[in-house]
Every structure is written in C-alpha cells, then in structure tokens.
Structure 1
Amino acid sequence: MRILHCIVDDKFIDEEINIFEDTKGKHYMEYIFIAENNNNHFTYIKNKELIRVIPMGESVEYINKGDFDLVILHSLNSIPIGYISKIKNNVKILWKAWGFDLYRYPNEIRPFIKLKRLKPLTKKYWNKNYKKQRIINLKVFIYDLIYNKRIKQSIERIDYFSGCLPIEYKLIKDSVPYFKAKHLPFAYFDRKDPFTDENIDHYPQLDSYILVGNAAGVPNNHLDILAKLKCNTTAERKILLPLNYGGDGKYIDYVINDAKSYWGDNNIVALRDFMPKTEYFKLLEKCGYAIFGHEQQAALGNIYKMLWQGSKVFLSETSVNFKYFKSIGMIVFSIQSDLTLKSINRSLSMEEKKNNREVILKHSSVKDALNEICNIYTTVEKDKV
C-alpha cells in the first residue's frame, strides 16, 4: 500500500515520521510539505531528507499521479481546504485533526466545534488588544460563507477521522451534518514516553512548583488562572509559566508582569526560549501541581506527563479535557470547584497516583498507540478491496 503524508512544520512531526517509518513494513511511505513557494526552511522539523516540498499549485496533480492508496492529512493546515475534494475518489483520506482544525476552523466565529474558549479576564484582554484580529475574523467568516460549498465538499470527501481525544469524533459528528468520515483513531506519541508496564513503579521526587498552562496562546486563559491562584496561594509559591510556544510578545510580557506583581521576580519561572522535550519534561518534575485553563482539547502531552509523574492536575470542569479524563476514571480536579488554598497544598496520595497510571496504561500506553498505527494499515487495506 502506498501512503502519502501531508505534513506541517511542527514539533510533533519528526517523531511521527520515525514511527511511521519503523512500522511501515511492506508499505511505501512518502512525506510532502505543500508550500506557496519552494522554500524548504523548517523551524521545527529536523527530518528534512525524508520530506519533499511541493509547490501549492502542483500539489493536487502530484497526489493524483502518485498512485497512492491513502493520504494522511496531519491537520487541515497541511493542504488548502479546496484541494481535498479534488483528490481522486479511489484514494482514501485520513484527517488527523488538531485543535486548530476543530475549534478555530473554518473560522473563529463559527468553527466546526463551537466553545466559549476564553474566560472573562482573558476575553477582556483579547477584546482590548486584538481589535485587528476581530476584523480579520469577521472577514474570514464572510469569506467562508461565500465559499461554504467548497468546505462542505472537502469535509464530505474525507474517509477517516482521528481527533486527539476519542470524544472529539462525536463532537464533530454532532456539530457538522455533512461530516461522514469513519472513526480511525491514532495518537501522536513518543516511543521514549514512560507509559509502559516496565516503568509503573518508578515515581520522580516532585517539588511544589505550580505549572500554569503549556504555551503562550491566549486559550490557556493565563490571566483568569493567575487571578484564581492569587486568592488561593501564598506569595512565596513558585510558578512555572511555559510561554515558549505560540502566542505573541505583548501577551507574554503582560502575563509575566501580571504574575510577578503578586509572586515577585524570584518566584516566577517564565520560559521564553524553545526547549528540547527531554529538558522541558525534566523541568516539569519540579511541579507537583498543574493547572490547564483551556476549554478545548489541548496540552495533552503536558497533561499525560503530569498525571504519570503523580502531579495533581486541575482542569476547567466545562472543558473537553476534563470531561474526557473524568469519563475514563482519571483523578483530575476542577479549577472552578476544587482549586482552593487547601487543595493546592495537598498532593495526591499514592493510591491516587497509581490509579492515574493504571488508567493511562489502559487507554494511552505506547503499546496501544503502536497498535493504532498498525490498525490504520489493516483497515484501509480491507476497505480498498
């Protein structure tokens, strides 16, 4: 079977290429980056020798002449939306949906899955400082209304869907009437992740730092989380703010200054430069507590890391993340109801830590993730007959 991956320049892609290369067996794999020009400069991707840069105007012809059995779209940003419906009907298409795809696409005003992503303080900041973006969002919304048929045809053309959480399949199916794809889940993962039976009894020695968010994007709702924390922690508490991925400088400065106004310069660890994953994950072991303020699915790598190492994790009780983790038996806590001075100073019991590890091994182990990749091959081969 010939499989084509349409990729984007992101930190997840290198390891996914390695995994597909190692599991491909008899299957042929190819990886393309569709570009507006022939620029092959990548910010995050290191496996450049395996990637072919295809000019945007030539991409549909390249796909259709390649005799591919399956095209995997690593987010809708990997290909112009109108091109999907132009792919030959005998080619199966698997859409690996990222958070942007579901919660901000085709436009911010009316995405596929509509959520109230911003909390009050963050919303107030956004309305004041992103007025130009609001105008852009309105223009994109109007544009998408005009070209809605093109979007509809492309989504209808997709054969298989994988979100980042299983519940996202039902969310998009309930929200988008022309969505017809079958559920064929697979997860992005790192084979060096510790989520194995062999590592189940080893727990790192955690410190009392509090992790707030996973990136610099506004949907982290940093301002609302920090306001809640100010009422429920002492000014001596150490706060870790990963602000080295996404976002913009003005917002990053505002968040850092807001945090330092209460906890002071010495108690705020603000990350602004991108770090290797191993180095970053080692730093997370200082954090016995973590708070993620997203409403959409987000920060899963960070959340799984924190749960596995035994940290106490707080999520918005109205969020996609919270609902999913609660549904599978994970012990996580509500920002709205559980984030109190007492709770943020009481770590998980060993029984609670073990429960969370067992749930991860049941639902998200490295072995399970590898099996999902292999299931893609067998499912598509069966459907192609």
Structure 2
Amino acid sequence: MNCHLIPDEKFTDKVINFLLDNYPDGCNYFFIYNEGKKFYEGNYKNVKKVDNILNSENEICEILQKADRIFIHGFGATQIIKFFNKHIKFIDKSVVIMWGGDLYNDHIFLESHNGLCLRLRYSMLLKRRIIKKTPIFMTFTCTDYDRANKWYGANGKRYDCLYPSNLDKNLLNIIKKTPDESCKRILIGNSAMPTNNHLEAFETIKKYAGENIKVFCPLSYGGTTEYVNNVISVGEKIFGDKFIPVLEYMSINEYSQLLADIDIAILAFDRQQATANLEILAYYGAKVYMKKDCALWEHYVERDKCAFYDIDNLKISTFENFCEFSPENKEINRNYFSKIWSNAYLKTLWDEVIVS
C-alpha cells in the first residue's frame, strides 16, 4: 500500500482521481492537510482530510507504519518538515515529490535578506537532514534534482514527475486563436510576482516599442500594490497605450483565450514557474523566450527539444527575427504538449515508481 501526504490545492482532486482511476486495487491511501484551504471536495473512503499533520500524528503514523511506500507531495510545508524530522525512520521508504518552490523559495528569501534569517536557516537544516536520507525523488524538471543535490545533499534516485494538467482539454479544443494582423501580441510573465522580472523583460524589448505591438502583463495576483504600481508605471512609460496590464481576475475561459491569442511570450524567470501558462502558450503557437540558465530551459529545450528561444538573443535581434516562428517549430511544441497531457504518458511515469 502507498500512502500519500498532499496539501489541499487546486490540483489535488485531479492528482487523487488520476491515481485512484489508474491504480484501482486500493493500493493508494491519501492524507490531505488543508491548512485552512477547502479545494478538495471528494468523498473516497481511502482519502482523509486533516487540519494539520502534527495534530493527527498518531493516526498518520499508524498508516505510514503499514505503508510500503510513502509519497510526500511538495516539501515546503513546515508541518511536513517537522513531522519527518520527528519520525525520520519513515524516510527510508519515502518518495519526495519536489515542486520547485520548495527548493527555490528559501534561497531566494535568504539572498534578498543577505542570509540573515536564523529561523529559516534552521528550517533548511532540518530539510537537509531529511533530503539526504531520501531514497527516491520525483521532479517536474530534470534540473530541480541537481539543485536538491547542491543545496540539500540529495543523492537518491530521480524519476520524472507530472500531474494531470489543470487544463480543460475540451476547452482547449473549443478555443481558437483569434487572428490580428494589425499587431503582434506580446505577453510578459504570468503574475505580479517579482520573480517574473518584469522590468528586465521590458528592457529586453523596449527597442520594439515603436512597432505595431500590444504588451499584455498579467498583474492580478502575487505581488504587492507597490510592486504592481511600479511595473505599470514603467510599462506605460516605455510602451505608452500599447501596454495593457491585466489587473482583474479572469475566468478560465477568458484567460485561456488571452493566452491562445498571444504571438510572443517573454518569460524572464530565473526558476521554474508558470508551467501551465507555458503549456497553453506553446500549444497555441506562441513564440516563447526564456533564459538559458533557467531550469525550464534545460528540461524543455536541451532535453526534450522544444522550440523555445534564448532571451539574450534579443540584444541583437531585429523585430522581424523577434517575431519569426516557423510552422514546423510550432508543430514541434504542439505535439510535445499534446503528448505529455495524455493519461497514457502520465501513467508510464508513475508506473516506474508505483509498480516497481
């Protein structure tokens, strides 16, 4: 029997349903810790919701004792780190599924505070103690494991991981790209989080401000009011009325249509983020620019041969080169993401760990 510890997030129901549907012999049991969230509304006998892992310690330990393998979905929650430091014996049969933020966020915070945060350093020490003993990792990009090794001493075996996409496949089949020959539609980032490096992205393309473009910038969540206002101020100063900040939450249909209509995306992340947005953009034929030293580049371009482009090339790129994107490369990306969205492909990845 496998026991899964997973937080209550927007995608939790799809992960649980996928595992129950594809491994229906009762071999998977789930503890959902909600931390005040209420996304999951399923009603399965082998799914148990708890407010906090530490408050249900005895019950969880009883199940973990019986489990052949323990899947820890995400490794950033304080309660998870505390629990497994207290019950370190369970790590010998555990699979840690790294989400990305559980690797990057601590280091980003320390860098922004010159390393001065004793509480965080202590938490990272506890995390390192567990990760060094973990025998199996599943990661969403191949480079995340390299960082886990560098920062936390990971030396277990690594497997690829994917969750069922949050994308509505039926919706994607209905939505069509709306042609606009009058201008090129450019997307900057995916949210108001500073990790989008908005101002850096603006500098990269400001030489095209005189061209027929519209610059869309999603800013409805993730950043402070001060940060959002500064991004808008700089964006309007450079691009004028061609700059379109997206400040209101959009429905899934509306946001998917916006992404489908984008011609060029500038994703200036230094780390893994916004993969769902990236998938839709690439599927609908947007030309995607990203940094070569971002974890996404090594995973998607160097390993899986997606047709994405290096932001640094824009320093010498004409507007024509900036926009040019061959039908052949569009098809490469569309076929790739169609493949990884399939249930059959997901199951081959999970079989390697669950069935082995």
Q: What range is the shorter-chain TM-score in?
A: 0.7 to 0.9
- Letter matched to residue 92 of structure 1: K
Greater shift, 304-313 or 15-24, is seen at 15-24
Q: Which digits, 9 at most, give the CA deviation of each residue in 1:136-189, with x for residues without a partner? A: x612xx33555665333211332321222123223433x146323221322123
Q: Is the 8 A contact 2:84 2:91 kept in 1?
A: no
* Counterpart mapping for 1:304-383 below 5 A: 304-327=279-302, 328-338=304-314, 340-343=317-320, 346-360=323-337, 365-379=342-356
Shift, 1:352, TM fit: 1.6
Match of 1:138 among 116, 131, 143: 116
After TM superposition, the structure 1 stretch with the greater mean CA deviation from structure 2, 56-65 or 310-319, is 56-65
Residue in 1 aligned with 2:270? 295
Summarize the Cα distance change of 1:374–1:154 in structure 2 as closer, same or farther, 3 Å threshold. same
Counterpart Cα distance in 2 of 1:209 and 1:344: 15
1:62 equivalent in structure 2: 59
**SS of 2:5's equivalent?**
strand
State the partner residue of 1:52: 49
Aligned to 1:101: 102
SS at match of 1:331: coil
Q: Deviations over 1:265-323 (max 9, x none)?
A: 5x333233444434321221120110100111222211122112111111112222223
One-letter identity of the residue aligned with 2:13: D
Q: Hey, what does 1:84 align to over in structure 2?
A: 84
- Asked if the contact 1:290/1:312 (under 8 Å) is kept, the reply is yes
- Aligned letter for 1:5? L
1:83–1:154 contact (8 Å) kept in structure 2: no
CA contact (8 A) 1:295 1:316 kept: yes
Query: Shift of residue 24 of structure 1?
Result: 3.1
Structure 2: give runs of 5+ residues left out of the alignment.
Answer: none
Map residues 258-297 of structure 1 onto 2, 5 A cutoff: 258-265=234-241, 267-297=242-272
Q: Is the 8 A contact 1:4 1:68 kept in 2?
A: no
Q: Indicate the larger mover: 213-222 or 354-363.
A: 354-363
- Aligned partners of 1:76 and 1:97 also within 8 Å: yes
Find the residue that maps to 1:188 and give its secondary structure: coil
Question: Runs of 4 or more off by more than 4 Å in structure 1?
Answer: 48-51, 144-149, 191-195, 361-366
Give the superposition deviation at 1:222. 0.3
Residue in structure 2 matched with residue 167 of structure 1 by the alignment: 143
State whether residues 212 and 290 of structure 1, in contact with CA within 8 Å, keep that contact through their aligned partners in structure 2. yes
TM-score under structure 1 length normalisation: 0.77
CA drift at 1:338: 3.1
Q: Root-mean-square deviation (CA), in Å? A: 3.2
Q: Is the Cα contact below 8 Å between 2:189 and 2:198 reproduced in 1?
A: yes
Corresponding position of 1:14: 13
- The alignment covers a number of residue pairs equal to 341
Q: In the alignment, which of 190, 194, 206 is matched to residue 214 of structure 1?
A: 190
What SS does the corresponding residue of 2:4 show, helix, strand or coil? Answer: strand
% identical aligned pairs: 22
Name the residue aligned to 2:220: 244
Pairing 1:152–2:153 present: no
Counterpart code for 2:15: E
Distance in 2 separating the partners of 1:71 and 1:278: 36
CA contact (8 A) 1:211 1:287 kept: yes
Identify which range, 288-297 or 58-67, moves more after superposition: 58-67
Task: Supply the distance in 2 between the matched residues of 1:53 and 1:183 (Cα, whole angstroms).
Answer: 29
Contact kept? 2:289, 2:308, Cα under 8 Å: yes
Aligned-pair CA distance for 1:71: 2.8
**1:93 & 1:278 partners in 2: Cα distance?**
38
Kept in 1, the 8 Å contact 2:131–2:152? The answer is no
Q: Given the alignment of the two structures, is residue 232 of structure 1 paired with residue 233 of structure 2, yes or no?
A: no
Please say if residues 196 and 267 of structure 2, whose CA atoms lie closer than 8 Å, have aligned partners that are also in contact.
yes
Q: Residues 107-133 of structure 1, C-alpha deviation per residue, up to 9 Å, x if partnerless?
A: 7337xxxxxxxxxxxxxxxxxxxxxx7
Deviations 1:3-37 (A, max 9, x none): 22321x433333223322322311233232164xx
Partners in 2 of 1:320 and 1:333 — Cα distance?
14
Specify whether residues 20 and 272 from structure 1 end up closer, same or farther in structure 2 by C-alpha distance, changes over 3 A only. Answer: farther
Preserved CA contact (<8 Å) 2:161 2:349: yes
Distance in structure 2 (CA, Å) of the matches to 1:183 and 1:24:
22
Provide the C-alpha distance between the structure 1 equivalents of 2:238 and 2:91, rounded to a whole number of angstroms: 60
Going from structure 1 to structure 2, the CA distance change for 1:360 and 1:317 (only over 3 Å counts) comes to same
Q: Per the alignment, in what secondary structure is the counterpart of residue 109 of structure 1? A: helix
Mapped contact 1:290–1:313 kept (Cα < 8 A): yes
